[in-house]
Structure 1
Amino acid sequence: MPTFYSAIFLLALAGNLLVILTFFHFRRIKTMTDVYLLNLSFADLLFALSLPFWAANSTAAWALGAAACKAVHAAYKLSFYSGMFLLTLIGVERYVVIARAVSARRYRSRAVFLGKASSAAVWAAALIFSLPEMSYAAVVNDTCTPYSSSADKLRVKIQAGQIALAFAVPLLVMSACYSGIVRTLCRARGFQRNKAIKVILAVAAVFLLGQVPYNLVLVVNTAVAANGGTTDCDFENALLYAADVTQCAAFLRCCLNPFVYAFVGVKFRRDLRRLLKDSGCRSHDGLIGFTTGGGGGRGSSGATDTETTTSLSP
């Protein structure tokens, strides 16, 4: 697990910093989705910075005290809640833009402002929902944990709230929004012009594929804790292993999102090429293949993109 956490930390640190630098270097914040994806990168980066502490906590006695324990849990919960809420907002915003295009036009001039305001609300809500676990996090038996035991009643309340607020409700909202988007795109002409939705769907898929197994195990853990724990050692060990494996899979999302941007979004690849070229990291000729996806030519670079399209359009 320490090796796994360390690898995720390095990949997430490099990937999310590149996404953030690309956004700011080219001032590509043009739409609400851009604002949300930038905030999602900040959330992933925040979580990545806590991973070295998770690695240490999994192998040795916690020696950093209660304050650091609370800070690590704060970083994880803020990232978790804000990430899911931001993905929910991305789904809602894309649904309005694509399925309710006429209504969306009246808000176009205020899109970035509305994106920033709603993102601030997301961070505030994530902080509020994180407070219980942050408040009770402590060092128990040389381990940083918010629970005193596997049958802790506080654990039941916190985990049940997390499953409902940060998984079930966002999942329902995103499912409804993306279903409406798919129906609209299937009926509309010029389907190719809406290919930017691939990026959003890919980001949502990465998050959900990591979170669904983790939350299913969390449901079982919550049910066991609500019934006072278990005396079956084999079952408890199996549950612990399942929690470790699915949690590691859930942690992967903070380093996978930048790769989704890079390999699905052509505009992002082009901006990244320009950023590397401007910084002197690579030559222009050596980056053409990366920009065009290995096509060997300039024609596929999308030279007709406008400034009004999302910076993560394919």
Structure 2
Amino acid sequence: MRDIDKLRNIPMIHILKKLNIEAIEKKKEQYWFKAKWRNERTASVKCEGNLFYDFGDYSGGNTIDFIMKHFSIDFVKAVKWLRKESTSFSFDPPKQNSFSELKKKKSYCIDNVQQLQNHILIDYLNTRKLNIEVCKRYLVEVYYTVNEKKYFGVGFKTNKGSYEIRNKYAKLALGQKWFTWINNTNKSIIVLESWSDFISLLTLYPKCEESKDFLVLNSLSMLSKADQVLNVYPGLLFLLDGDNAGANATEKCLKKWSVIKSSVKDIRYLFDGYKDLNEYLMYKSTKI
């Protein structure tokens, strides 16, 4: 729904005031506060605009992500809460910030990789309405250490052997950022931005698992490195996100590949009106 973008763009400082969370301004429009989801003496969470970053567990996101974390609730319940409280918020779009200064090099170690079975991670995947049997075919459990602290999450392996890691609170990459090519020697390939969209696609349309190949970028920036894969196929299907970045990338790809390919299509109509396919799946599965 279109109001989702408005909800995720509510300035974080308005959310903190609503929740009576004391914030300390360190620099202009940058605030620090103590995480309510753990005991701590020093503020370790930073927010700016509509974004937050938790230095305690290296997670972050937008306003909706924060409400999910603060109340330990799923996406749908977070949206309900924000909609209910929306009259007290300003919807002026905040300045966009990449938090690039937070992406400093960290010391990490992968301790163990095993079959997906942890009920905490499975519960997390269930909140995203993903078919668990499909998840077990493509995802693993990764136990890892970052700066001497132990963590675990769902892992999606790239073609470089690195892992995209997700859990209820964290979103990060362990190792080199790269794409994941699922090559079943079919004649057409579907290009997606994230593994959650890939598994959402197989949840909604299970038959396409055998009829199509897949390129999961894991980051839109990987699109510039994917020519070696896309050159293999006569048919290209682009299922990138519905935001401005995804729309611009799709338009460029259509212009570039239509000249030399027999079939190049934009199939984002599969989630028309939503940010991406996983968001569509979550709303399709749960009526608000």
Larger radius of gyration: 1
Larger % of strand: which?
2
Larger % of helix: which?
1
Q: Relative CO higher for 1 or 2, CA cutoff 8 Å, sep ≥ 6?
A: 1
State the TM bucket, normalised to the shorter chain. under 0.3
Instruction: Please report the TM-score for the alignment, with normalisation by the length of structure 2.
Output: 0.27
